[in-house]
Structure 1
């Protein structure tokens, strides 16, 4: 049997590796570094898969509700009211929790609360037919989704070194992108069962989150001896003295102060928390750098006459009624959001910091273009049938580009902020405040993305034509 001991670097190594030991029979690495790398690869796979599930399940109900918008309200009701009730409570959650609450985050309690709230929201939608009651259920599910997204992004900051935290964020973003496709597909499959049964079946999905958290997600202390190469740059990553601060298991005591339970040791000042002045100081440099790229990306919903077989054989097979345009645009957009949000998890490098505003600039151009097309059209008013088909393909292209830019902005902004250097006003040896500052910064910018979507829904509510 092999014997293990820490080497001079603190890595756990096999000091009696030979060709007859147990690890050889399982084709495991025989060198000390290889053994640790093998262990780390398994941990990183579990970490990535866990955060992918978090992103997928947390956002899938949001997409199901949007996909079912036409079935949830009477035909005369503006569909934008569904989008409004599906995003406004999430925005409240993203604004309130980072800025108002203080102390240590009880991640397990938060996630169980979100799970129960999502379940109740979907059950209300399924059991009641009244418009106001259904909007209340949508609001419950929305608040839970917003708080859940905030919580998972903050949870990623508890992992160290920065490449591990970035790995978690990359897979979480990929999961949120996949939720668009999975949610749209699920509703397409179950919509024939009706709102009551289709939405009711979806209500059990949130319970996957606490199960994943407790039984699959590796604890941050498992990465204490990671051998992942870490390159620290003053403009990108925290200094080693801070990023490699030791982590300890989750506190077992239930009487710890504040709202947080952490991965850091409580220390002598476990009641320490960021003040309002600290939070304002932390968020000021993030406004232009990170929030503006998340805010942009809204556009009108465009409808066209049903294409004939003579004008377009392909489109005539896909679009049978005017109601088919909405789910089609959603499917196209969500497909490219998934691909772009998965860019980092697929191994593509993140955008350079100087290019972070680029996706938002392109989205602004797309918004102006789609608004002009919605108002007057590019090929004349009213357009003839062949030109109308060109309009549809043109909008198809713009929506693809919009999805790419929106996904790139999301994953790169949160990836970059996870590598931000610590605040200069926080002492490097103040572990508690340093941890809270990292959690606050990544949580404080999420409302920018929701605000852009909220503005789009308000425009849709006001558009009754």
Structure 2
């Protein structure tokens, strides 16, 4: 029989079994009870995985739909880059503002309801108004909601223990965000036949799925704290270590519970604990080089490729006689860019799903590796676009070469995202720090939320670099007699 763990809170020792927080089979229990416990744990883990996958998918899918619909949302004379800017700048503001300037506990339920309302209103504004300023306003609202939602779900993952469960949450959330690229592009392909007003209007109902999943399907985090089966604690920590290293607050009175947010480790009376700006700066300093710089660089290089280089990776339409397979895929010069985006989105989804597929996470020391590889890919694709690495008679080889590099680009981007957040989720509290458990909880939430602006700022800088990059690469092609970019 496993010993019953206890926790000390406010000087009083709490028997967790007496409080109903421990479901443990009695000594000598039969095999059926053990099997039932294992089935319950598997069901909880499955529901957790589905919930975080849904969170990632529906939080990011509107972002992809808006980018996919860019040509239909603005007049032909308007630069499409303005859509990309309005789709990322508010998200960056949310990721920068919320973790750094708001203090105290996170009220997850209120946040998610607010995000749902903002996203729905934003898409309705885009659908109902034809004027460019109103559509950009709607896009900005949806973008702000997406950025706030992403950091909120990453912070929510830190409330699950033991670490294997928190890592499980991050892995499936990242997989959902990767799937959003494929699902969003496909949905708009189907919805665009109804026109902007109906297509975007129908997509406005999607955010409602997030709060419904949160309230009615997501397992509560206390459900995982005291599972004792080997599968739950493989490569993890013991229940006693959970209690010593993770937040726990006393049980609340009915009045206190009414004032508490959902998603906390346990309901409890309000605590006068809030991280100051000095506290946050102290916490964020070790993260700058370790996590933020690799993530920023990966996204800077990745979106410079996608927005500045990929539009110029154009080749003659393959002949059906010489390249029967390519000719079925590429039937116009305009088909190349969507093909590169499809390859990119597919490989991002696969690599962001690597941890949920059961592959090991990258060691912390290798987190800069995707950014290094991404810089080489940017260099090679830039050279290929400007000067051509193969002869004009080897168009199939050119296309295959770009296909491989775009695939590696997507893999690097996805691996950087999921592994950075996974490794940060798995960090243990500093053993030398003050063991105020409410403070430890807020520190873990802040740390994983604080680095979210690194990828968004990389995308924003890339959108600025992409315009002159595309123009100069097209000029370089024209100088060597390749005029395809001028015909688009």
Fold match by TM threshold 0.5: yes
* Deviation readout 1:156-175 (Å, 9 max, x if unpaired): 01111111100110110111
- Unaligned residue ranges in structure 2 (runs of 5+): 6-21, 475-488
Distance 1:196 1:390, change over 3 A: farther
* CA–CA separation in structure 1 for the residues paired with 2:218 and 2:174: 16
Corresponding residue for residue 294 of structure 2 = 293
* Deviation readout 1:312-350 (Å, 9 max, x if unpaired): 333332233444333222211111111111111111111
Deviation for aligned residue 1:12:
1.6
* CA–CA separation in structure 2 for the residues paired with 1:252 and 1:231: 39
* CA–CA separation in structure 2 for the residues paired with 1:338 and 1:269: 40
Distance 1:461 1:194, change over 3 A: farther
Corresponding residue for residue 323 of structure 2 = 312
RMSD: 2.7
The structure where helix makes up a greater share of residues is 2
* CA–CA separation in structure 2 for the residues paired with 1:249 and 1:191: 52
| Residue-pair matches, total | 439
Corresponding residue for residue 343 of structure 1 = 354
* CA–CA separation in structure 2 for the residues paired with 1:262 and 1:249: 14
* CA–CA separation in structure 2 for the residues paired with 1:124 and 1:269: 38
Corresponding residue for residue 11 of structure 2 = none
Corresponding residue for residue 279 of structure 2 = 278
* Deviation readout 1:66-112 (Å, 9 max, x if unpaired): 12222222334333222221111111110100001011111111111
| Aligned residue runs from structure 1 range 59-458, under 5 A | 59-227=60-228, 228-229=232-233, 231=235, 240-243=242-245, 245-246=247-248, 253=256, 263-265=264-266, 270-295=271-296, 296=298, 297-298=302-303, 299=305, 300-303=309-312, 304-309=314-319, 310=321, 312-379=323-390, 384=392, 386-423=393-430, 426-428=433-435, 430-458=436-464
Conservation of the 8 A alpha-carbon contact between 2:120 and 2:205 = yes
Deviation for aligned residue 1:130:
2.4
Deviation for aligned residue 1:276:
0.8
TM-score by length of 1: 0.87
SS in 2 for 1:348: coil
SS in 1 for 2:274: coil
Conservation of the 8 A alpha-carbon contact between 1:118 and 1:140 = yes
Conservation of the 8 A alpha-carbon contact between 1:232 and 1:240 = no
SS in 1 for 2:273: coil
* Deviation readout 1:285-314 (Å, 9 max, x if unpaired): 111111122112331233314513245333
Distance 1:215 1:240, change over 3 A: closer
* CA–CA separation in structure 2 for the residues paired with 1:314 and 1:232: 49
Conservation of the 8 A alpha-carbon contact between 1:282 and 1:423 = no
Conservation of the 8 A alpha-carbon contact between 1:306 and 1:319 = no
* Deviation readout 1:158-207 (Å, 9 max, x if unpaired): 11111110011011011111111111111112222222221111111000
* CA–CA separation in structure 2 for the residues paired with 1:11 and 1:376: 67
* CA–CA separation in structure 2 for the residues paired with 1:279 and 1:180: 33
Deviation for aligned residue 1:63:
0.9
Is 1:13 equivalent to 2:46 in the alignment? no
Conservation of the 8 A alpha-carbon contact between 1:79 and 1:460 = no
Corresponding residue for residue 483 of structure 2 = none
Identify which range, 389-398 or 352-361, moves more after superposition. 389-398
* Deviation readout 1:372-397 (Å, 9 max, x if unpaired): 233333236xxx3x434433322221
Conservation of the 8 A alpha-carbon contact between 2:115 and 2:145 = yes
Conservation of the 8 A alpha-carbon contact between 2:57 and 2:179 = yes
Deviation for aligned residue 1:264:
3.6
Deviation for aligned residue 1:247:
6.5
* CA–CA separation in structure 2 for the residues paired with 1:317 and 1:396: 16
